[in-house]
Amino acid sequence: MASLQPITRSLFQIALGGVNLFVIKDNGLTLIDTGYSRSLEAIVNALYRGGESPDQIKQIVLTHAHPDHAGSAAALQRQLGVPVLAHQHEAALLEVGLSGQAPIHRSPGFINWLIYQAFIKRGANTVDPLVVDGHLNHGDVLAVAGGLQVLHTPGHSAGHLAFWLKQEGVMILGDTCQNLMGLALSTVYEDRALGIQSVLAIAQHNFDQAVFGHGRWIRKGASQKLKRAFSRLQNQT
Residues lying near Zn ion in the complex (CB under 5 A) are found at 66, 68, 175, 213
Closest approach of Zn ion to the CB of residue 15, in Å = 13
Q: Which is nearer to Zn ion, 168 or 191 (CB)?
A: 191
Tell me the residue length of the chain. Answer: 237
Residue nearest to Zn ion (CB): 66
Q: Which is nearer to Zn ion, 195 or 213 (CB)?
A: 213
Closest approach of Zn ion to the CB of residue 157, in Å = 6
Q: Which is nearer to Zn ion, 66 or 87 (CB)?
A: 66
**β-pairing verdict for 209-211 and 170-172:** parallel
Closest approach of Zn ion to the CB of residue 98, in Å = 13
Closest approach of Zn ion to the CB of residue 36, in Å = 10
Q: Which is nearer to Zn ion, 35 or 145 (CB)?
A: 35
